[in-house]
Structure 1
Amino acid sequence: MSGHVNAIAKAAAEAVLRDRMRIAAIDMPPTVSDALDAWIADQPDPKPSRQEAVREALTEHLKAKGYLK
């Protein structure tokens, strides 16, 4: 039974970590969406996905503001 309990605990912990790392949807004005698409188009192949582009832009912004090292 201990192995079953450990497996359940592990699965629950993994689900919590996945949820902390995921944002389901982001609403943004068309001007921001268009700018993001333009930035993606200017990137070399392979082009980043929108998800990757948003993650990179947010990371760079937080670094520039000193919230992320």
Structure 2
Amino acid sequence: MRSLIVSSCHYNANIKMVLIHMAPPKKDTQALTLRLSRSLIDAIDDRRRLEADLPTRPEMIRRALVQWLESEDKK
């Protein structure tokens, strides 16, 4: 079982570190490392704050890519 220690380090009453268990990644996905300029990251953060559910940066990038690909398919 995979686990991730939260960066904010939550502790329970016994002063033990609480772990968050992550679900295994989907089998049809692949990690992608990407470097972006600070201005592009800021623009992504500004845009994600407009969404009702405040998506994570990776989710916002996924949504933007899907929207772009769908708009390209319509041309």
TM-score interval, normalised by the smaller of the two chains: 0.5 to 0.7
Tell me: higher relative CO, structure 1 or 2? Use CA pairs within 8 A at least 6 residues apart: 2
What is the percent sequence identity of the aligned residues?
A: 20
Q: Which has the higher strand share?
A: 2
The Cα shift of 1:43 comes to 1.2
Distance in 2, matches of 1:23 and 1:66, equals 25
- Cα deviation, 1:16-69, whole Å, max 9, x if unaligned, reads x73x5223321111111111000111111x3111111000000111111118xx
Corresponding residue pairs, total: 50
- Name the structure 1 match of 2:50: 42
- Name the structure 2 match of 1:56: 63
Gaps in structure 1 of 5+ consecutive residues: 1-16
- Look up the equivalent residue of 1:49 and give its one-letter code: T
- Over 6 Å off, 4+ runs: none
- Look up the equivalent residue of 1:21 and give its one-letter code: T
Matched, 1:24 2:32: yes
For the aligned residue pairs, the C-alpha RMSD in angstroms reads: 2.3
Distance in 2, matches of 1:23 and 1:32, equals 20
